Amino acid sequence: MSSPSPAPNDAALARFARAAEEAVAEGRLPFVVAMASDRTGPIFEAAYGTAAPGGPPAGPETVLWLASMTKAITSAAALQLVERGKLDLDAPAARLLPELGAISVLEGFEPDGLPRLRPPRLPLTLRHLLTHTAGFGYDMWSPALARAQAALGLPPLSSGKRQALHLPLLFDPGEGWCYGINTDWVGLLIEAAAGMRLGAWLDAHLLGPLGMRDTGFRLSPERRARLARLHVRRPGGDFVPIAAPVAEEGEFERGGGGLYGTVRDYLAFIRLILDEGRTAAGERLLGPASMEVLRKSAVRGMAGIGRFDRATANRSHAFEFFPGLRKGWSLAFLV
């Protein structure tokens, strides 16, 4: 267990530090790594517990699977290419990535169990993908998609196979909102527009300039030695470590959930958004137009980030972020 450094002088941070320390000590969380920043830089840092069984104490250097926090970084990269005229928010995405033109809408199932599919009524666009209004979902949260996936012989997303992204749409583009594999497709659009792997673009235009040296799609031996284990809570309330459900050596780099990184690195990305698209050194990575669409809600009236229920979801319970507040989705994250 480590003590907060520097010691928080803000009452709210002090309360958080006490709550985090107690949660780990009582077994309600396996570990906590936390940082906070103001305009001038980090002002709070704390870590409690161990990030892997038998491993060293958790700390700012602990490497974590970023999971869906990858989405905001990939979305920012897409907007960089929009600024350069390499991507268009509203042009049919299939012009650049023809395999998107083969995606169908799932209308139901035939008596023999095969999916009933039809072409979408509107072309799917980058804007649809960035706002999660394209119609894509996640098979792990949608019984219909899981059934279609099995019937079509598609591999699971965890396989790292590109064919896993060829799930049908749950609705026509623009006619709903559903959290899903949209940003994985955005990563492939970035590769098509930039002529390089997603990770290479991120390294050159976001991660590198921000000093996010511990963030990437693959783990070096040194990073792997600092990797936190993913934990799940068992029915009795205790935690058990499991393997992260992401393939490092897959056929594509998952723009929707494949990055590994540290809390310290991710704070640098958050500061980019708060500092009008500029790094701490003043280098502009995102222009004013991109910052406007990043912060402005493009999808309004959402009841929550997802439509999950305990009967059908195998990884999540029904939940609601920020109860009572109006919410929407920008071109990168919840607003």
Indicate which residues carry an active-site annotation: 68, 71, 179
d(CA 209, CA 212): 8
Q: Are 170 and 142 in contact (CB under 8 A)?
A: yes
d(CA 179, CA 170): 11
d(CA 256, CA 258): 6
Report which residue type is found at 293. V
Q: Are 255 and 168 in contact (CB under 8 A)?
A: no
Residue 131 CA from chain centroid, whole number: 13
Closest Cα partner for 64 from 51, 55, 79?
A: 51
The conformation of residue 155, written as its DSSP 8-state character, comes to: P
Structure tokens at 304: 């929550």
Beta-strand runs (E) in the chain: 31-38, 41-49, 64-65, 105-109, 115-118, 230-233, 239-242, 260-261, 299-300, 328-329
d(CA 214, CA 269): 13
